[in-house]
A and B are shown apart, each in its own frame.
Chain A
Amino acid sequence: MTQRKTLSHLDWLEAEAIHIMREVAGQCANPVLLFSGGKDSICMLRIAEKAFRPGKFPFPLMHIDTGHNYQEVVAFRDKRAAELGERLIVRSVEDSMKRGTVVLKHEGESRNKHQSVTLLEAIEEFGFDACIGGARRDEEKARAKERIMSFRDEFGQWDPKNQRPELWNLYNARSHKGENIRAFPISNWTEMDVWQYIEREKLELPSIYFAHTRPVVIRQGAIVPVNVPLVSGELTNLPKAGEQIIDKLVRFRTVGDISCTAPVESDADTVEKIVVETATTTITERGATRLDDQTSEASMEQRKKEGYF
């Protein structure tokens, strides 16, 4: 009789995520992995390497770019895809705006939720039948009930009342033409697991995850970065009249569209220090940093119904 070994929690989570990615590759004809350059999707790339090397990934990478992304993150995104030798597709919300399929309510409106439109357009353009994403169930309560393989109809809509039961590790990623599966290999990871994994795997991250000094204003209690240079060199998030700009030592816990991600005060400038800080923080990841989830209690649920990740 052989003695059974217990996998460490990170090994277990990694093995589960590899299994899920391989199920997508085995069951779906034309999947894509969404890669933003953020920490969760950086973990996903390491999992894909473990799942498929020495082969190529059986899917391209894709980023839905709002045009309002931190230049450090965009540069990192391109560098990482090149290092891996994998194909990166970028589709832009600004192109959807030019086509007239995205119409902003006003110039300054956050483009974050409009990513759904561009994502659905890209799904149609390439005929993707599955999108692999880095969403986690601990992020938000609409995500706590999300399946690992989540079914979306022709309009990309998530119907919480009509999801497929998901038992054991027998995933059902079948779909008819035009429908879509969203697959979430790191569903069962928490923010802490992600940082521990980054530490263990020595993963490189965009610099804005680490403590740095940047100009900010305090707006309704939140730290809002201002005068942020875009890839084009143009500045965005300009301060409003009367706001006082201060230089603060901050880092980002989540990274997304500039208009809706706020940094936290921190002097953690290494992954080790961030792991310690994550263990002792008193504010949730999205509570601290995602301005888009504070709009209303159900805003994530609403966005998911409209085709958001």
Chain B
Amino acid sequence: MTAHQVEDHGLLRFLTCGSVDDGKSTLIGRLLFDTKTILADTLNAIEKTSQKRGLGAVDLSLLTDGLQAEREQGITIDVAYRYFSTGTRKYIIADAPGHEQYTRNMVTAASTANLAIILIDARKGVLTQTRRHSKLASLVGIPHLVVAINKMDLVDYSQETYEKIKADYLEFAAKVGIDDVRFIPLSALNGDMIVERGEALNWYEGPTLMEILEAVPAAHTERAEKFRFPVQYVCRPQDSANPELHDYRGFMGRVESGSIKVGDAVTVLPNGLQSTVKAVQLGGVDIGEASTEQSVTLLLADEIDTSRGDMIVKTEEAPAAVKEIRATVCWLAEAPLDRARTYLIRHTTRDSKAKLTGIDHRLDVNTLEHVAADKLAMNDIAEVSFKLAQPLFVDPYAENRATGAFIVIDESSNNTVGAGMIL
């Protein structure tokens, strides 16, 4: 750690949900501007554009202006990632476009986020899209939701309006089972309650948006999780001039959950052979132990034939090995899910051929009702079952994001066509 970097609260990934009309781009622009992430040349460029468009003040939403291909068509194509830092914590914003293909983009952006900001226009209150965004955020397992009631300047900073929207939202949240949610009134346009408190919302006594972001735990979960170590790559440097390395066999991967240390009893799946951890290394150097999200190399006491796609777990907490899965799937491709075809499922570092065996129901993301379905088109979300050619070592998504998630690949195009969360 360096002298001018006294504390490091890690890295928080969050997602902003809403359309341009809710002031999403202005909010992101405001966060970047108030944390001094925007530098002079970028600011000059958007000042010029603002003047060209005849705007009185600098339009911060221009900071998130997209690609030429998007401007030509007047649409936003894709999730954009943006970065800022407060000195103690680094932030990655996933900025998902608000309109078409929304479900697909939002699920993509949400899959790596630990917090979602759901924007509500104070003049409009809780809308269908608010419910849709919230449901998707909770479905993808984002642990922290912040409902930001924006454009308070346009409702005279009325506490009554804020309380009414909050009550409406809480009623909906109780119905769909969302419990960890915070509310904040703000004006992204004027910068009230983002980084600075401003003068207009003195009746609000809670933290600013930035204070919430700074205080939220960076880790996905506070729970102690079971140790899961999918093997990505096996290191066998036999051709090395160093004879000590002749028997070296390092299993390389990322600790997806839990922790491991030298001496722990482990089992390698699928062969089920047991051993103990001889060393935990990073770059060939012993580090003794490792925990969630660290990329390391494990050496075992016994010689066990292990390759990419295997999983190392602690012996007393092995996951289920299954050849059938039930999952919530979001379909991402233009071509609908074809019952007759065989797809490839990628789960951790393991692939298996898979075939749809049934669709239980589809979720109508607007009414949030379950409806009968016999096919899945782009942006559809449904509960489905697959049968698998190879066993996968799974945990329910609600318990473990890394070993509960999978993607569906179409082998003819190699495209990623679906995203699944195991039930």
**Chain A contacts to B: CB under 8 angstroms:** 1-2, 4-16, 18-19, 22-23, 25-26, 49-56, 58, 137-138, 141-142, 144-145, 160-161, 163-170, 172, 174-176, 187-188, 190, 192-193, 196, 199-200, 272, 275-276, 279, 281-284, 287-288, 297-298, 301-302
Residues of chain A lying within 8 A (CB to CB) of residue B2? 196, 199-200, 272, 275
**A6 close to B219 (CB less than 8 A):** yes
3 nearest A-B pairs in the assembled complex, by CB-CB distance: A298-B68, A18-B295, A50-B283
Contact present for A52 and B10 (CB under 8 Å): no
Pick from B77, B108, B236: contact of A160, CB below 8 A. B77
Say whether B83 contacts A138, CB under 8 Å: yes
Verify B407–A8 contact, CB threshold 8 A.
no
Establish whether residues B259 and A141, one from each chain, have CB atoms under 8 Å apart when the complex forms.
Answer: no
Is B108 a contact partner of A165 (Cβ separation < 8 A)?
yes
User: How many Å lie between the Cα of A5 and that of B289 in the bound state?
Assistant: 12
Residues of chain A with a CB closer than 8 A to B349's CB: 23, 26
Q: Specify the chain A residue showing the minimal Cβ separation from B412.
A: A176
Give chain A residues whose Cβ lies under 8 Å from the Cβ of B160.
Answer: none
- Minimum distance in angstroms from A261 CB to a CB of chain B: 16
Kindly report which residue of chain B lies nearest to residue A272, judged by CB atoms. B2
Determine if A53 and B67 form an interchain contact, defined as CB atoms under 8 angstroms apart: no
Assembly CA distance A71 to B217 (angstroms): 47
- In-complex Cβ contact of B66 among A53, A145, A199 (8 A): A145
B11 touches A55 (CB 8 A): no
Cα A166 to Cα B415 with chains together (Å):
10
With A15-B293, A53-B283 known as contacts, the answer to whether A9 contacts B8 (CB < 8 A) is yes
Given A22-B232, A54-B240, A137-B83, A174 and B67 touching (CB < 8 A)?
A: no
Q: Which of B250-258, B315-323, B358-366 contacts A (4 or more CB under 8 A)?
A: B250-258
A56–B92 CA distance with the chains assembled, in angstroms:
33
Nearest CB of chain A from residue B5's CB, rounded to whole Å:
7
- Determine if A192 and B85 form an interchain contact, defined as CB atoms under 8 angstroms apart: yes
**B392-416, CB under 8 A of A: which get 1 and which 0?**
0000000001100111010000111
Q: Given A8-B8, A167-B111, do A19 and B295 touch, yes or no (CB 8 Å)?
A: yes
- Contact with B232, one of A9, A11, A19, A50 (Cβ below 8 angstroms): A19
* B222 nearest CB neighbor, chain A only: A4
Contact of B284 among A14, A53, A163, A190 (CB under 8 A): A53
B107 at the interface (CB under 8 A from A): yes
CA distance A55 to B246 in the complex (A): 11
Q: Say whether A284 contacts B8, CB under 8 Å.
A: no
Contact check: which of A5, A23, A54 meets B237 at CB < 8 Å? A54
- Tell me the complex Cα distance, A7–B419, Å: 27
Report the minimum CB–CB distance from A234 to chain B (whole Å). 34
Is B41 in the interface zone, CB < 8 Å from A?
Answer: yes
Contact B10 A9 (CB under 8 A): yes
A residues near B85, Cβ cutoff 8 Å? 9, 190, 192
- Bitwise interface map of B from 104 to 142 toward A, beta carbon under 8 Å scored 1, else 0: 100110011000000000000000000000000000000
Residues of A near B239 (CB, < 8 A) are 56
B327 to chain A: closest CB distance in Å? 13
Distance in Å: Cβ of A81 to nearest Cβ of chain B: 18
- Tell me the complex Cα distance, A217–B332, Å: 53
Q: In the complex, what's the smallest C-beta–C-beta distance from A298 to chain B, in angstroms?
A: 4
Q: A26–B10 contact, CB under 8 A?
A: no
Q: Which residues on the A side are within 8 Å of B242 (C-beta)? A: 54
B172 within 8 A of A: no
Please name the residue on chain B nearest to A2 by beta carbon: B224
Give every chain B residue within 8 A of A13 (Cβ-Cβ): 11
* Interface assignment of B69: CB less than 8 Å from any CB of chain A: yes
Q: CA A142 – CA B66 in complex, angstroms?
A: 8
Residue in B closest to A285 when the chains form the complex, CB atoms:
B39
User: Contact between A145 and B78 (Cβ–Cβ < 8 Å)?
Assistant: yes
Instruction: List 26 contacting pairs A-B, 8 Å CB cutoff, sorted by A.
Output: A6-B219, A8-B8, A9-B85, A12-B10, A12-B293, A15-B293, A25-B232, A26-B232, A26-B308, A55-B240, A55-B250, A141-B66, A160-B69, A161-B69, A161-B77, A164-B415, A167-B108, A167-B419, A172-B414, A190-B90, A283-B39, A283-B41, A284-B39, A287-B39, A297-B68, A301-B68
In the complex, whether B40 has a CB less than 8 A from a CB of chain A is yes
Give every chain B residue within 8 A of A141 (Cβ-Cβ).
65-67, 80
Cβ–Cβ < 8 Å partners of B308 in chain A? 26
CB pair B416 A166 closer than 8 Å: yes
Max chain B C-beta neighbours (<10 A), residue from A9, A16, A163, A190: A9
